[in-house]
């Protein structure tokens, strides 16, 4: 602990790291992050292979960054320039892995008590009971991890990490594989705990649903870099990267060529790849002739059975229905306009418009539903 | 049957297993977790007795333990007598000879412990020693038993190394396998048979125990002929 230094800073987690990542499937790329995480939930969102888990490993001390500086509550955990690298056991950073890593040979109680070896027996018991109660798993205390359900294991893993009163909590997709009701209930318990212990929580997920459930600050990580930061709406509804767009659920992703910029109107016209389709999208950082990508949500497209008139929407494309597929309360219609668009409509709309394959339809796209995306 | 030879063999096997247990743990830990580039050299060195004829190992041990060998000189300086043809010399040679039988099962079982459990332990504040004692050891019990039993059984049955460094001194270095050899040489086939049968039974029981334990633990026993 000699290496820990005090400095003037708030209760934030300050992370600046650079590390070359040598992926198995991809060429090496640089993880390059500079971010300040305040107390409360911060969601780290991005496609797999973006470096999310490596970033958490760096913060926990399980992986050494090439260069950078990591500080929690003003205590220095890592600084390459000063050759400071506090080992994980002295960082007071708790980490729940995707695999949970419960100790299989220990009871639930022994798992949770593992991080408290220095407390006297009585106090340790009290702390363990208290946290087990908080996560509503007290009756499982003498069971082994393999004897309890997945959701219970996830609660135990959270309890085990929190009982040590860490100053930072790292969660790497701890709730994957649970149904949304169970997920919501565990998130509520976690929120209740966080209300009492105000620490930065970095929550990794690539599930759009979890981002909406947590509804807090989102950091989007793509290919080792932070590409945007803000509320879920700001980050996920206007994705600027192709991979993020795919992860955030943009069903329509087309490449195209910029025709011209109309800066006065704040728009530019893009011709979709090798078609006559021209659409207007919000002005982006591009010049005429540039190859760009445009992302549109299937739910943001209007479908008309007749040529629409008198609309404010600037993009009206004529096409033919290729296929119609019912998915529960959703009808997925694929329309060929030179490129194939995916459109979501309701079953009611399907009946009213008498949609059928081969039928001629018009697609209406608001300019601001068309998102300009970088590769 | 020569009870003296059998007792000597058992005493030797016990000593060697105990020493290998203490020596093998840190060595196996290092081999399982080190990321040094030259680790393979030590791995090869540890595995050497598996392929080397016992006479070769015994020959070099004899040279090292002789009055002009480094080990022999050292021993003489400390204890005032030589090392070759003594029980202590036999123990040292046997430890080397049985090293892979202790170390390799330990390495194999340490390596099967999920790394994430070790990370979890570290993140929960445990240092390496605590992680080793609380996580790695309990999850490696079948491997540890395999290591103990194999080093015991392998030492019990050794012949070539004993002959080279120990010679054939009754009560000091005449182990049970040497005794069998002696009896066959002097055409006492009945006596050789009694001792040989006993050794056969002990070896079978020990191996059956190893396989049984590993079967209960749900994994394959590590044995040199089933090594990866």
CB-CB contact of A94 with A162 (8 Å): yes
Please indicate, yes or no, whether the overall pTM of this predicted structure exceeds 0.90.
no
How far is residue B34's CA from residue B21's CA, in Å, rounded to a whole number?
20
Contacts of A95 in chain B (CB under 8 A): 119-120, 123
Number of H helices, E strands in chain B: 12, 0
Return mean pLDDT, chain B. Answer: 87
- Res A322 pLDDT > 80: yes
Supply the angle between the helices B39-51 and B3-33 in degrees, to the nearest 10. Answer: 160
Chain B contact for A95 (CB, 8 A cutoff): yes
ipTM confidence:
0.78
Give A93→chain B minimum CA distance, Å: 7
Q: Which pLDDT band holds residue B29 (cuts at 50, 70, 90)?
A: very high
How far is residue B175's CA from residue B163's CA, in Å, rounded to a whole number?
9
- Res A86 pLDDT > 90: yes
How far is residue A235's CA from residue A229's CA, in Å, rounded to a whole number?
6
Looking at residue A32, its pLDDT comes to 92
Tally of residues, chain A:
375
More confidently predicted of A49 and A122: A122
Closest residue by Cα to residue A317 from A300, A304, A299 = A304
CB-CB contact of A131 with A112 (8 Å): yes
Per the CB < 8 Å rule, is B121 touching A114?
yes
Q: Who's near A43: CB < 8 A, 6+ residues apart? A: A203, A204, A205, A210, A211, A214, A216, A217, A218, A219, A232
The tens digit of pLDDT for each residue in A292-303 reads 888 888 888 888
Highest-scoring range by mean pLDDT, A124-138, A168-182, A224-238, A267-281:
A124-138
Looking at residue B110, its pLDDT comes to 94
Closest residue by Cα to residue A214 from A173, A161, A274, A250 = A173
More confidently predicted of A58 and B223: A58
| DSSP string for residues in A251-305 | SEEEEEEEEEEETTTTEEEEEETTSS-EEEEE--S--TT-EEEEEE-GGGEEEES
Average pLDDT over residues B43-51: 91
How far is residue A216's CA from residue B145's CA, in Å, rounded to a whole number?
52
Contacts of A99 in chain B (CB under 8 A): 114, 116
Give B101→chain A minimum CA distance, Å: 26
Chain B contact for A114 (CB, 8 A cutoff): yes
Looking at residue A247, its pLDDT comes to 65
Count of pairs with CB atoms under 8 A, one residue in A, one in B: 61
Chain B contact for A87 (CB, 8 A cutoff): yes
Looking at residue A8, its pLDDT comes to 36
Please, what are the domains in chain A? Answer: 13-244 (3.40.50.300), 250-373 (2.40.50.100)
- Res A3 pLDDT > 60: no
Strands, sheet with A291-296, edge to edge from the N-terminal-most edge strand:
A278-282, A267-272, A252-262, A291-296, A371-373
- The CATH architecture one would assign to domain B3-32+59-226 is Orthogonal Bundle (1.10)
Looking at residue A9, its pLDDT comes to 41
- Res A240 pLDDT > 80: no
- Res A241 pLDDT > 70: no
* Cβ-based neighbour number of residue A283 at 10 Å: 16
| DSSP string for residues in A184-201 | HHHHHHHHHHHHHS--EE
Looking at residue A65, its pLDDT comes to 94
Strand, coil or helix: A93: strand
Nearest to B114 among A89, A95, A101 (CB): A101
Per the CB < 8 Å rule, is A101 touching B139?
no
Q: Which pLDDT band holds residue A71 (cuts at 50, 70, 90)?
A: very high
Per the CB < 8 Å rule, is B125 touching A117?
yes
Q: Which pLDDT band holds residue A10 (cuts at 50, 70, 90)?
A: low
How far is residue B58's CA from residue B191's CA, in Å, rounded to a whole number?
27
What residue ranges do the domains of chain B occupy? 3-32+59-226
The tens digit of pLDDT for each residue in A94-111 reads 999 999 999 999 999 999
How far is residue A343's CA from residue A335's CA, in Å, rounded to a whole number?
8
Q: Which pLDDT band holds residue B117 (cuts at 50, 70, 90)?
A: very high
Looking at residue B220, its pLDDT comes to 55
Chain A contact for B44 (CB, 8 A cutoff): no
Least confident of A332-341, B110-119, B123-132, B206-215: B206-215
The tens digit of pLDDT for each residue in B191-226 reads 889 888 988 898 888 888 878 877 776 655 555 544
Q: Who's near A375: CB < 8 A, 6+ residues apart? A: A241, A242, A293
Going through A80-216 in order, the beta strands assigned E by DSSP cover 84-85, 93-96, 168-172, 200-205
The tens digit of pLDDT for each residue in A326-356 reads 877 788 899 988 888 889 888 888 888 888 8
């Amino acid at each position: 602990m000699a290496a820990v230094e005090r400095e003037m800073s708030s209760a934030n987690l300050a992370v600046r790291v650079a590390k070359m990542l040598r992926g198995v499937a991809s060429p090496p790329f640089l993880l390059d992050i500079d971010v300040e995480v305040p107390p409360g939930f911060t969601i780290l969102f991005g496609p797999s292979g973006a470096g999310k888990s490596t970033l958490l490993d760096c913060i926990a001390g399980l992986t050494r960054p090439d260069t950078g500086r990591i500080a929690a509550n003003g205590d220095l955990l890592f600084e390459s320039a000063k050759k400071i690298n506090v080992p994980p056991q002295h960082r007071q950073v708790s980490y729940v892995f995707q695999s949970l890593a419960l100790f299989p040979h220990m009871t639930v109680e022994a798992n949770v008590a593992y991080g408290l070896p220095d407390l006297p027996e009585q106090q340790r018991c009290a702390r363990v009971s208290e946290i087990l109660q908080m996560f509503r798993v007290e009756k499982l205390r003498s069971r082994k991890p393999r004897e309890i359900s997945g959701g219970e294991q996830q609660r135990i893993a959270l309890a085990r990490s929190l009982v040590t009163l860490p100053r930072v909590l790292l969660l790497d997709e701890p709730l994957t594989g649970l149904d949304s009701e169970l997920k919501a209930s565990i998130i509520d318990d976690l929120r209740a705990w966080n209300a009492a212990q105000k620490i930065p929580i970095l929550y990794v997920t690539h599930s759009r649903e979890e981002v909406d459930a947590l509804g807090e600050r989102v950091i989007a990580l793509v290919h080792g870099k932070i590409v945007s930061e803000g509320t879920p709406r700001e980050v996920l509804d206007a994705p600027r990267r192709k991979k993020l767009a795919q992860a955030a659920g943009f069903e329509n992703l087309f490449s195209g060529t910029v025709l011209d910029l109309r800066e006065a109107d704040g728009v530019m016209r893009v011709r979709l790849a090798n078609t006559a389709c021209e659409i207007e999208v919000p002005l982006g950082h591009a010049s005429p002739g540039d190859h760009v990508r445009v992302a549109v949500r299937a739910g943001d497209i209007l479908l008309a059975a007749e040529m629409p008139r008198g609309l404010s929407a600037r993009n009206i494309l004529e096409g033919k229905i290729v296929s119609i597929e019912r998915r529960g309360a959703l009808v997925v219609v694929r329309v060929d306009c030179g490129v194939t668009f995916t459109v979501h409509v309701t079953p009611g709309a399907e009946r009213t418009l008498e949609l059928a394959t081969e039928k001629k339809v018009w697609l209406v796209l608001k300019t601001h539903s068309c998102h300009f995306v970088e590769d | 049957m020569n009870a003296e030879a059998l007792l000597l063999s058992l005493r030797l096997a016990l000593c060697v297993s105990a020493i290998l247990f203490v020596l093998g743990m840190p060595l196996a830990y290092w081999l399982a977790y080190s990321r040094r580039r030259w680790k393979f050299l030590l791995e090869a060195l540890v595995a050497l007795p598996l392929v080397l004829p016992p006479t070769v190992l015994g020959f070099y041990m004899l040279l090292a333990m002789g009055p002009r060998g480094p080990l022999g000189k050292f021993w003489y300086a400390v204890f005032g007598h030589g090392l070759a043809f003594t029980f202590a010399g036999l123990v040292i040679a046997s430890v080397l000879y049985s090293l892979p039988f202790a170390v390799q099962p330990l390495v194999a079982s340490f390596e099967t412990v999920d790394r994430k459990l070790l990370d979890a332990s570290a993140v929960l504040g445990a240092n390496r020693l605590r992680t080793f004692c609380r996580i790695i050891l309990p999850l490696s019990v079948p491997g540890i038993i395999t290591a103990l039993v194999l080093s015991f059984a392998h030492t019990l049955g050794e012949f070539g190394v004993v002959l080279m460094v120990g010679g054939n001194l009754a009560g000091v270095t005449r182990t049970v396998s040497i005794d069998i050899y002696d009896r066959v040489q002097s055409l006492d086939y009945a006596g050789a048979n009694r001792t040989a049968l006993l050794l056969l039974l002990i070896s079978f029981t020990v191996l059956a125990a190893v396989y049984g334990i590993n079967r209960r633990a749900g994994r394959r026993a590590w044995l040199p002929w089933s090594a990866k």
